[in-house]
Amino acid sequence: MSRLDSFIRRLEAQRTILNWAAASIQGRSGLALELGLGNGRTYDHLRELLPGREIYVFERDPHPNPLSRPPARFLVVGDMAETLPVFEGEHGAAAALIHVDVTTGVPERDKIAFAWLPARVAALAMPGAIIVSGWALEHDALEVLPLPEGIPEGRYFAYRRAG
Ligand SMILES: C[S@@+](CC[C@H](N)C(=O)[O-])C[C@H]1O[C@@H](n2cnc3c(N)ncnc32)[C@H](O)[C@@H]1O
């Protein structure tokens, strides 16, 4: 598979899993958290899927497409290793949906570089919350969910916060 094919498949998988995650939380209250703004593509998709829901976005170096910049009060700037614990102190386990899209670009490296992240995600998620991630999150409170149809094994990961 060429890198272009692989890139297209990754984006298709992202769209499929975000659509599925947003549908899964329909009718339930709670924040949405986007971990990693980047260009703002997935944030833009989430805000389209979740009109009216508060979506907080975490990013250490925000340079999105200007059309996809979150309002200042929903953009948490800084290293998530520091900003997530502060946010947790202010909001507690308030998230109904968390999308983890921070990466070093090398999946095997992500697990090591972000070893602190699964515990933060588990603490921010309310019981029953849906968490989707580009790499595997290992934490006792995160129950693995089957992937929606069309997502190849290992391309994305889905969890429910145990209650
Ligand atoms: C793959 S990109 C996100 C792509 C984005 N979701 C999109 O669709 O355009 C990952 C982002 O995470 C950010 N990031 C990585 N590690 C971080 C950390 N420890 N704290 C805050 N942001 C971080 C990077 O700056 C980068 O913008």
Question: What is the arithmetic mean of pLDDT over 75-85?
Answer: 97
Q: Which pTM value belongs to this model?
A: 0.96
| Residue 81 belongs to domain with CATH number | 3.40.50.150
pLDDT of residue 27: 95
**In the chain, count of helices (H) and strands (E)?**
5, 7
Predicted confidence at residue 1, as pLDDT, reads 86
Would you place residue 7 in the very low, low, confident or very high pLDDT band (cuts 50, 70, 90)?
Answer: confident
> Tokens representing 35?
């971990």
pLDDT at residue number 145: 97
Beta strands, E only, the chain:
31-35, 55-59, 75-77, 95-100, 125-133, 142-144, 157-161
pLDDT of residue 105: 74
Rounded to the nearest integer, the mean pLDDT of the chain is 95
Q: How many domains does one find in the chain?
A: 1
Interval between CA 81 and ligand 1 midpoint (Å): 12
pLDDT mean over 133-148:
95
| Atom 3, ligand 1: residue with shortest CA distance | 38
Question: What's the confidence (pLDDT) of residue 4?
Answer: 94
| pLDDT at residue 147, rounded to an integer | 94
Position 2 scores a pLDDT of 93
Question: How would residue 33 be classed by pLDDT, with cut points 50, 70 and 90?
Answer: very high
CA of 36 to the centre of ligand 1 (A): 3
Q: What is the pLDDT of residue 144?
A: 98
Ligand 1 centroid–CA 29 distance in Å is 26
Dihedral (C-alpha) 36, 117, 23, 5: value to the nearest 10 degrees? 60
> Among the listed ranges 13-22, 108-117, 123-132, which one has the minimum average pLDDT value?
108-117
Ligand 1, atom 12, residue with closest C-alpha: 36
List, in order, residues 6 or more apart from 18 with CB less than 8 Å away: 42, 45, 46, 49, 99, 132
Domain that holds residue 121: 3-161
Ligand 1 atom closest to 64 (CA)? 9
Ligand 1 atom closest to residue 44's alpha carbon, by position in its atom list: 8
CA of 150 to the centre of ligand 1 (A): 25
